[in-house]
Structure 1
Amino acid sequence: MNRTSVVTGLTATGIGMTLLLTGCGSSGSASTGGNSLSPAMDADSTSSSPAPTVAGSSSVGSASSTTSSPAKSAPPTHTSGSGSNRTATAMPPAVKPSSTSSAGDKPVALCSVGQLRISVGGGNSDMQGSHRSLRFTNISNTVCKLTGAPGVSYRSASSGGHQLGKPAQRIVGHQPIVLIPNATGSAGLFISSAPRKSDCAKATAPGIRVYPPDSYAFAFVALPEVTCTSGGPYLKVGPILPGPNHTV
């Protein structure tokens, strides 16, 4: 066999082996591609598994929603508007109301004697005297105000006459009250029993003269009492307050 024939045979053999190896490689690749997933797809597939259940809750999400910091009290709010336009604004703390001397924007005038029915109400007694209520009822059709304690003194007669003893001691420290029609305020009135026990010159006063606060006009109220013609005071009166039954 010559040299050319050997080279030709070897070449043919090499080509055949190459074809055989190529066919085997193609077969393995096709099999792997049909039956396996890439690493990236395996990772994605694990993310779709159900979330773990937390004891006492149906899911992790609901468990986290029940964990919160301690609640803090919020200031009261006021809601305004309607529908989607409703807004809430913080309300200022409550403020204790005070007495007023006006109704709305209109000043309120002092109560005159002609607007008032003045009378003495019931009460109680002790060894020192009687504790009664001196009542002021607004009998007019307009609002009026009273401020402080009235002036009170025994009189020797219902009309005219002279004052018996010193005028009543007035208790200070007050705020104005507003009386609407038919409303009643009252001042505590103390009537001392000392004149009855004293050896002073005595007289029976038919009643008392009452001056509403800041008024020079008066009303006479029947209240027969034995009193000393001088000295004292044997009466004490407090500021006028809302309601009919205040005493001192």
Structure 2
Amino acid sequence: MVRATSPRIGLGVTTAALVAVLAGCGTTGTDNAQPQPSPPTTSDPTSSSSPSSSAPAATTPPDSATSTKTGETLCKSSELKLSLGHGDAGAGTVYRPLIFTNVSNHPCVIQGFPGVSYVAGEDGHQVGPAAVRQGDKGGAFTLNNGDSGYAEVGFVNVQNYDTVTCQPQAVRGLRVYPPQETASVFVPLQTTGCASDKIPGDQLTVKTIQKGSGGQ
């Protein structure tokens, strides 16, 4: 005689089997959810991190003694002797050549406008605005040992200005920066300058450096 299986036992077996199946599925799903390592990438030869023949080369600051096409270097302050030549007066302004002479043992190249300003006192403080540039920048030229170039500097007679506006002050010389240089040179000059920057005009003007000594 065959006994009928108890419905309660059959239900228990079925439930256990179902739990096992679900547990197995849950484990598999968790493994698949883990982040997978990315496949190795090949560097792009056109990316910015890769060397490229079209990439611009590093440049040298313009104020440094850079080599020129001829292998010469720009004239440095330490290689130049500066002096003031005699000049001519005109319309309340005296024009004098500021002369740059190469005293080094090698040639150097010079080009452009020097920076010029009045200085006073033991501390060398600047008096009034620096010289205003006039005209175009000239071309480069070579100074061999003993050669000179000059820039014409205009000195306005500040006595013609109103005293209150000018604020006249005795100066003891000029602070000069040769073109493309960051080191200055002192040039003695006993005169009077305007400490104010409110004067109606320019107390100092300067032109680009050219060959020669300005006839001095």
TM-score by length of 1: 0.54
Distance 1:147 1:161 in 2: 26
1:173 offset after TM fit, Å? 2.5
Equivalent residues in 2 for 1:1-248 (5 A)? Answer: 102=68, 106-157=70-121, 160-171=123-134, 172-193=136-157, 195-198=158-161, 199=163, 200-231=166-197, 233-245=202-214
| Alignment correspondent of 2:50 | none
Whether contact under 8 Å (1:186, 1:246) holds in the other structure is: no
Distance 2:105 2:99 in 1: 18
Choose between structure 1 and 2: higher helix proportion: 1
Distance 1:126 1:211 in 2: 26
**Could you list the runs of 4 or more consecutive aligned residues of structure 1 that deviate by over 6 angstroms after TM superposition?**
none
Distance 2:180 2:187 in 1: 18
Distance 2:159 2:124 in 1: 22
Distance 1:125 1:141 in 2: 36
Distance 2:118 2:185 in 1: 12
Of structures 1 and 2, the one scoring higher in RCO (CA 8 A, sep 6+) is: 2
How many aligned residue pairs are there? 143
Distance 1:237 1:191 in 2: 9
SS in 2 for 1:107: coil
1:175 offset after TM fit, Å? 0.8
SS in 2 for 1:196: helix
Distance 1:129 1:106 in 2: 39
SS in 2 for 1:122: coil
Name the Cα RMSD after superposition. 1.9
Unmatched segments (≥5 aa) in structure 1: 1-100
1:161 offset after TM fit, Å? 2.3
TM-score by length of 2: 0.62
Whether contact under 8 Å (1:170, 1:236) holds in the other structure is: yes
One-letter amino acid of the structure 2 residue matched with residue 142 of structure 1: H
Whether contact under 8 Å (1:153, 1:166) holds in the other structure is: yes
Cα deviation, 1:42-86, whole Å, max 9, x if unaligned, reads xxxxxxxxxxxxxxxxxxxxxxxxxxxxxxxxxxxxxxxxxxxxx
1:243 offset after TM fit, Å? 0.3
One-letter amino acid of the structure 2 residue matched with residue 205 of structure 1: V
1:190 offset after TM fit, Å? 0.6
Cα deviation, 1:126-166, whole Å, max 9, x if unaligned, reads 23211100000000110101110100000113x53211110
Unmatched segments (≥5 aa) in structure 2: 1-66
One-letter amino acid of the structure 1 residue matched with residue 132 of structure 2: Q
Which is greater in Rg? 1
Distance 2:82 2:154 in 1: 16
One-letter amino acid of the structure 2 residue matched with residue 214 of structure 1: Q
Whether contact under 8 Å (1:187, 1:246) holds in the other structure is: no
